[in-house]
Amino acid sequence: MNLTLYPLGDYIQLLQKHSLLTNFSGAPLTREVSLVSCDSRQVVPGTLFICKGAHFKVEFLQSAMEQGAFAYIAEKPYEGVDLPCLQVTNVRLTMALLADFYYNHPSGKLSVVGITGTKGKSSTTYYLKYIFDEYLAAKKQKPSGVVGGIETYDGVERFEAHLTTPEPLDLERHFANGVSTDMRYLTMEVSSQALKYDRVLNVEFAAAVFLNIGTDHISPIEHPDFEDYFSSKLRIFAQAAAACVNLDSDHADRVLEAARKSCSRMITFSTKDPSATIYGSQIRKVGGDILFKVKTPRYSREFRLTMPGLFNVQNALAALAVCEALGIPEQYAFAGLMKARVPGRMEIYSNADEKVSVIVDYAHNKLSFETLFQSVKEEYPGRRVVTIFGCPGYKAYDRRKDLGEISGKYSDLVILTEEDPGEEPVENICKDIAQYVEKEGCDYTIVPDRGEAIRQAVLGSQEPTIILLTGKGAETRQKRGIEYIDCPSDVEYAKQFLHEYDVLHGMDGMSKVRALLDVLPLLRRYEGRTMVIKYGGSALDASSTDTILEDAAALQSVGVRVILVHGGGKEISALLDRMGVETKFENGYRVTDQAVLDGAEMALSARVNKSIVGALDRIGAKACGVSGRDGGLITARQKEEKLGLVGAITKVDPRLLTTLLDAGYLPVVSPIARSEDGAALNCNADDAARAVAEAVGADKLVFLTDTDGILVDSHNQSTRIAKMDVARAKELIDSGLIAGGMIPKTMNCIHAVEHGVGSVTVLDGRMEHAVLLESISEKSLGTTMEKKR
């Protein structure tokens, strides 16, 4: 980044202006400050070093001096360090002022949205990020930034976070990174600690959101009482242009009063008060989605959330309030909320028969716990409930009582475990919580090792069980002592032990594949049926290539009539490159003149096709390679004149394929078609597979791709839609929930099912034995579409 650097004298004047400086004798006033830092590992020559923190040691200052620091700031001078000391009365306030000054006040060049509240900050932050990114993508601008307790992304850096709001020097660096990369919006979580101790001092908020207030973070090292906690949160409005306030929050009148004193614009939101600027109503579940009506000054329409948890409507309304304040058009808010996902927030994982389900969530305080249990009670009635959680060390002592009582009231079993214990022994924390669980008459156990606690909960489930795994979400570090130690996330633990549960109970698909002889009886149910597999792209390039062909051979061996239709775009590009033929693309299609077509036909029909046939032959399959031109198998017309010799399929004559299948062969088809005048045309392999499946009346069509199925958000594998019928698929496309590159995949599925194919499955072809696993697994893999029964 390009920063304007200032001499030390300017920093001294700033501190004098705020009456913070008590002594600066010997300071070289004209020397330029190249960096302001409190981390001795980052010091460069010309650094102004800040001594701060309860764990600060003089060795850190000595190291900074050796690396080139020329002066330091501290609340007291350190003996034996031959550097000028700028002695201040409040090092926290000093650091915030200097961070903003050094980075040239970057928040003034961004639209920064600050979100505070006892619960919901992370979800609202990500809802806004999805909305902003939809809006920015339409304008061909770079994605928005996010700074919070889950993740930080500032256009330059992306990493897992461990502080809700970073220290000032880090925070201002993130803003400056955003400015340097032309970032337009950045959404951040603002904690009560950050507001109390001036971490966000001088940050300009385009909008400040107040979600709710409850009792939390009350401890000797955080807030001594609720009043201190509440008043700290209200400080956010002093730095905001617009205030977005939840009228449904406790103490809403006091929040509104604080906002009106400082903010030039007020946006309110509510699910109870129709007079709110943003009013949500008619909240209901439809299938796995949450629908709700929204009325604003600009529009009235229905919105859809595809992330579970009815309580998320409040967070969505908060995001819409910000959109109202910043003028974000409604279509981007609609699309963003539909696609939105929050890592580690209400993520649901189940074993093969869904007897055991694990909800991974960041819930960690009274409000979020109460909301989570209410949602689970409504959505999973009658299920045994096991709750796994802990509390951080030496802080938020009231939380231990609150969470112990709530979990004890609603759970059948509570397992207490590690959750960022810091310098307090895990067993001591768990015993403190246990007394409140026990008072509610609930069984509990203490298992300090978090992984072992999760394992015991999953493997110990003998009846339908919902396991609430709270507090850590997708985090991959535990705070032990003063350090953050790498560890598996709750998501990783949940998947690992649910898989182990399935293995122990004989429901593990992979173990069945590895013991093929045991699986053959399961596969024989497909005997006599016809399956078309589109094989290509990433599936063709992946290390799982041989296992896909093994799957096809295994299916053929039990009497399944298998047809492989392959692509080979990379092979075409490589061959054309060697031939010196230039390749151009238009709307995803390869512009094809005669030279390109000759190369494509050579790559597909000669090289790729024969390579697949040879591989099948080596594993004992009886295969025969054919081109779409052979026997008039595939006929096409020119798709568009500007694309050249690219074909749109008009007809498939299945007689050649039927003859081969009846003779026990596995046809391998390359997508080179015959034009009406007998010439060749290059066709899309997906289109060819779909047309072939329709022509032979296939019972099943499998598209092997490089995704986990059809996704709501193509960048987020957790948004996979497991099953749907044609009507649901069309609804998702019309509503914008399925968009971009997912639309052609979905349209091919719809066309196939509407034209006689029994079912269509979109699978990740990079997965080992993907086809066999999908055929025998009791759990849905990828996305399957079939007619509504």
Neighbours of 546 (CB within 10 A): 13
The whole-number pLDDT of residue 785 equals 92
8-state DSSP, 320: H
pLDDT of 709 reads 85
Q: What pTM does this model have?
A: 0.68
Q: Are 147 and 171 in contact (CB under 8 A)?
A: yes
pLDDT for position 342: 84
103 contacts 161 by C-beta, under 8 angstroms: no
Q: How far apart are the C-alpha atoms of 731 and 617, rounded to whole Å?
A: 44
If we measure between CA atoms, which residue out of 321, 317, 440, 423 comes closest to residue 369? 440
For the question of residue 779 being annotated catalytic, the response is no
Cα 401 to its chain centre, rounded Å, is: 32
C-alpha of 667 from chain center: 40
List residues bridging with 704 in a β-sheet. 763
Q: What is the pLDDT of residues 164-201, one digit of tens each?
A: 899 999 999 999 999 999 999 999 999 999 999 999 99
Q: What is the pLDDT of residue 451?
A: 95
Closest Cα to residue 445, out of 412, 475, 423, 477?
412
Strand positions, DSSP E, 106-264: 111-116, 145-147, 151-153, 158-160, 185-189, 205-210, 240-246
| Nearest residue to 408 via CA among 377, 447, 439 | 439
Sheet holding 356-361, edge to edge: 347-350, 356-361, 465-470, 384-389, 413-416, 443-446
d(Cα 187, Cα 345) in Å, to the nearest integer?
Answer: 17
- Residue position matching structure tokens 């299916």: 555
Which residue among 686, 687, 708, 713 is the active-site one? 686
117, 404, 473, 537: which is the annotated catalytic residue?
537
In this prediction, residue 192 carries a pLDDT of: 93
Structure tokens at 214: 């409850």
Measured distance CA(400)–CA(641) in Å, rounded: 70
To the query of whether residue 745 is one of the catalytic residues in this protein, the response is: yes
Cβ atoms 635, 695 nearer than 8 A: no
Q: H/E element holding 743? A: helix 742-754
**DSSP annotation of 607:** I
Q: What is the pLDDT of residue 542?
A: 44
Q: 177: which 2 tokens?
A: 């990174």
Question: 417 to each of 389, 428, 433, 476, 564, how far by Cα in Å?
Answer: 6, 11, 10, 16, 51
Which residue is catalytic, options 117, 569, 625, 709?
569
Residue ranges, the chain, pLDDT below 70? 217, 508-523, 537-545, 587-588, 714-715, 717, 778-780, 789
Encoded amino acid at 565, one letter: V
Distance CA 748, CA 740 (A): 14
In the numeric block, the tokens 């439809």 are attached to 286
Active site residue 502: no
Told to judge if 697 belongs to the known catalytic residues of this protein, a careful annotator would answer: no
Q: Which of 121, 361, 745, 782 is catalytic?
A: 745
Determine which one of 119, 366, 534, 700 is catalytic: 534
Euclidean distance between CA atoms 657 and 632, whole angstroms:
11
Strand 278-286's sheet: what is its strand order? Answer: 158-160, 151-153, 145-147, 185-189, 111-116, 205-210, 240-246, 265-270, 278-286, 289-295, 300-305
The CB density around residue 265, as the number of other CB atoms within 10 Å, is 13
How confident is the model at residue 352, as a pLDDT? 86
493, 529 Cβ separation under 8 angstroms: no
The pLDDT assigned to 510 comes to 58
Overall residue count recorded for the chain in this entry = 789
* Known catalytic residue at 686: yes
Q: Structure tokens of 312?
A: 């998320």
Determine contact, residues 134/142, Cβ cutoff 8 Å.
no
Q: List beta partners, residue 627.
A: 670
With b meaning 16 or more CB within 10 Å and e meaning fewer, what string describes 648-673?
ebeebeeebbeebbeeebbbbbbbbb
Token pair 């090289």 in the structure block, residue: 607
Residue 743 — left, alpha, or beta (φ > 0 → left; ψ -120 to 50 → alpha)? alpha
Residue 100's closest CA among 248, 26, 203? 203
